[in-house]
Chains A and B, each alone.
Chain A
Amino acid sequence: MKKLGHFLLPYVFGLVILAAWEGGVRMGDIPEYILPGPVAVLIALRTNFGELLVGLGVTLQVTVIALLLAAITGAGFAFLMAQSKLAERMLFPYAVILQVTPIVTVAPFIIIWVSNIFGVLLILAWMAAVFPIISNTLFGLKSVDINLRDMFRLYGATKTQTAMRLLIPSTLPHFLSGLRIAGGLSLIGAVVAEMVAGTSGEKSGLASRLLEASYRLELAKALACFALLGLTGLLIFTALDWLSRRLLRHWHESATDASQGGN
């Protein structure tokens, strides 16, 4: 019974907040163009479900492809930098600049240089997502057990053998932790990119629909987009968390039973 309560706690909390919101909106007689209640949002979600689903599809496509590209290029860059101190010294500051530059400020240039709008969105989402992967993978590559390295050297392992059997498995937990952060950032990047790039029409994503709806004071629809984006972010995180646990379950502290409070 206590366990069930523990499990339900966040959901109950959410429902209480939603009920208070709905009650407040009704009792205060607040018009829908100022603040719609959750019921109105739900109705808007149902009415526009087809359109919003298409939008979600577009945003999700940008998010997932950008994340995959970030995973490949980020891990690649980190591997390159781990090969030599010189390469790291040369490249890492630029990785940091990439991270600290708000993508909103870069967007206008990318829009001028890249004609394909999907390409623009990809580039911007990639920019938002790639740094944690570079940074975490590099950290992982640098923290490979020095004695294990010696052992591989002692047995005359080739560079490929060392990479496949030591560096990659040893770095995997760090890479995955970077990937989990990058998943959320990729979605944020895709959303921000859509908003600055001002995509419109049939092939626009959920963020564009949100913007359109808010311009038209269809706040219920805008909030429905917002809710869908939030759920998508949660879904991406959950999926990446599952992947991480799945890949590390046999050996890494983060994925073993002990770290889950004995569940």
Chain B
Amino acid sequence: MAEAILTLSGVSQTFPNGTQALATTNLSIAAGSFVSLVGPSGCGKSTLLRIASGLLPPSTGQVDRAFSAAPGDVGFVFQDATLMPWATVIANVRLPLEIAHTPAPDAQAKAMAALERVGLADVASSYPRELSGGMRMRASIARAIVTNPRMLLMDEPFAALDEFTRFKLNDDLLQLWQANRWTVLFVTHSVREAVFLSERIVVMSPRPGRIANDLTVQLPPTRDANLRLSHAFADESARVTNVLDQAMEHTP
């Protein structure tokens, strides 16, 4: 297994109102891996992601990163596209570079390249409201990858999309990841999505949020859209669903 890029040791989160969002948790993420966090609402998966991003300091424990936590090393994709409605698509994608004072021509070129990678080059100067939900999410992904991050954190990014758009974005994300090998930590409540994309699935259960199981996905590392139709995929989805159900049963 490759070197760990992110290690959470004894991390827990209790909010000021006393709710324990995350019980003491240890988790290590290998560099270049695609890891999904799966579980029902309230299992602390979003909290875990926010801790990993550095946006939320944990109540206890320690977060170690194998890279300098400089801005731009972590790309974050929210559940909503979270674009600035007053700025064009390319201006939205340029933002992380502009905050870091990247020279304008350089920022423009990098933003355009990122948009090309997600297939949005032709709507670069449109405004977000002129785009479909799927395209907005692509723009959001372009913004997250424009700094060429070490880690990509995604918080249920496709949850609000219809199934066709979702499959297409899954396929494209898979291709992007296979080409670039960022480390991806991907939160979802869809087992099939997690199985399709990930090498490893961390199953979480609620009250309090904690890791219930940690699975390696038994599917070939190189995948494409056809995988979704295979028996192996159906079997693997069933296996993970089973584990998830067991985790639920043990929930107090």
How far is B99's CA from A148's CA once the two chains are assembled, in angstroms?
13
Q: Nearest A residue to B147 by beta-carbon distance?
A: A155
Type the 1/0 row for A60-74, where 1 means its CB is closer than 8 Å to any CB of B.
000000000000000
The reply to whether B99 and A152 contact each other, CB–CB distance below 8 Å, is yes
Min CB gap B47→A, angstroms: 13
Min CB gap A144→B, angstroms: 10
Stretch at the interface among A19-27, A214-222, A249-257: A249-257
Type the 1/0 row for A159-173, where 1 means its CB is closer than 8 Å to any CB of B.
001000110011010
Given A154-B54, A154-B76, A169 and B82 touching (CB < 8 A)? no
Please tell me which one of the listed residues B71, B76, B84, B86 contacts residue A156 in the complex, with CB atoms under 8 A apart.
B71
The reply to whether A154 and B86 contact each other, CB–CB distance below 8 Å, is no
How far is B55's CA from A185's CA once the two chains are assembled, in angstroms?
43
Given A161-B99, A169-B84, A256-B129, A154 and B78 touching (CB < 8 A)? no
Q: Cβ of A203 < 8 Å from any Cβ of B? A: no
Residue among B74, B76, B86, B98 with the highest chain A CB neighbour number at 10 A: B86
What is the size category of the interface that chain B forms with chain A? 20 to 34
Q: Cβ of B113 < 8 Å from any Cβ of A? A: no
The reply to whether A153 and B99 contact each other, CB–CB distance below 8 Å, is no
| B80: A residues at CB distance < 8 A | 147
The reply to whether A155 and B84 contact each other, CB–CB distance below 8 Å, is no
Within 8 A of A (CB), among B129-152: 129, 147
The reply to whether A156 and B85 contact each other, CB–CB distance below 8 Å, is no
Min CB gap A175→B, angstroms: 13
| B233: A residues at CB distance < 8 A | none
Within 8 A of A (CB), among B153-210: none
| B82: A residues at CB distance < 8 A | 145, 147-148, 151
Secondary structure class of chain B's binding surface, majority of residues: loop
| A165: B residues at CB distance < 8 A | 84, 95, 98-99
Q: Cβ of B100 < 8 Å from any Cβ of A? A: yes
Min CB gap A78→B, angstroms: 19
Q: Nearest B residue to A253 by beta-carbon distance?
A: B129
Q: Nearest B residue to A148 by beta-carbon distance?
A: B82
Please tell me which one of the listed residues B71, B98, B128 contacts residue A154 in the complex, with CB atoms under 8 A apart.
B71
Q: Cβ of A157 < 8 Å from any Cβ of B? A: yes
Given A147-B78, A150-B55, A150-B76, A156 and B99 touching (CB < 8 A)? yes
The reply to whether B71 and A166 contact each other, CB–CB distance below 8 Å, is no
| A157: B residues at CB distance < 8 A | 99
Within 8 A of A (CB), among B60-88: 70-72, 74, 76, 78, 80, 82, 84-87
Please tell me which one of the listed residues A147, A155, A169, A256 contacts residue B86 in the complex, with CB atoms under 8 A apart.
A169
| A172: B residues at CB distance < 8 A | 86
The reply to whether B99 and A155 contact each other, CB–CB distance below 8 Å, is yes
Q: Cβ of B58 < 8 Å from any Cβ of A? A: no
The reply to whether B86 and A250 contact each other, CB–CB distance below 8 Å, is yes
| A155: B residues at CB distance < 8 A | 71-72, 95-96, 99-100, 147
How far is B101's CA from A161's CA once the two chains are assembled, in angstroms?
11
How far is B96's CA from A157's CA once the two chains are assembled, in angstroms?
9
| A151: B residues at CB distance < 8 A | 76, 78, 82, 95
The reply to whether B74 and A154 contact each other, CB–CB distance below 8 Å, is yes
Within 8 A of B (CB), among A200-235: none
Residue among A161, A165, A166, A172 with the highest chain B CB neighbour number at 10 A: A165
How far is B84's CA from A60's CA once the two chains are assembled, in angstroms?
37
How far is B86's CA from A256's CA once the two chains are assembled, in angstroms?
12
| B87: A residues at CB distance < 8 A | 169, 251
Please tell me which one of the listed residues A150, A152, A251 contacts residue B85 in the complex, with CB atoms under 8 A apart.
A251
| B55: A residues at CB distance < 8 A | 150, 153-154
| A169: B residues at CB distance < 8 A | 84, 86-87
Within 8 A of B (CB), among A243-263: 250-252, 256
Q: Cβ of B7 < 8 Å from any Cβ of A? A: no
Q: Nearest B residue to A165 by beta-carbon distance?
A: B95
Please tell me which one of the listed residues A148, A153, A154, A256 contacts residue B84 in the complex, with CB atoms under 8 A apart.
A148
Given A147-B82, A154-B55, A161-B99, A251 and B76 touching (CB < 8 A)? no
Within 8 A of A (CB), among B30-72: 53-55, 70-72
Would you list 9 pairs from A and B whose C-beta atoms are within 8 A, ordered by A residue?
A150-B78, A151-B95, A152-B99, A154-B55, A155-B100, A165-B95, A166-B84, A169-B86, A172-B86
Not counting A147-B82, A169-B86, A251-B127, a sample of 11 additional A-B residue pairs whose C-beta atoms are within 8 angstroms of each other reads A150-B78, A151-B95, A155-B71, A155-B99, A156-B100, A157-B99, A165-B95, A169-B87, A170-B84, A251-B87, A252-B85
Chain A to chain B: the 5 pairs with minimum beta-carbon distance, closest first = A156-B71, A147-B82, A169-B86, A251-B85, A155-B99
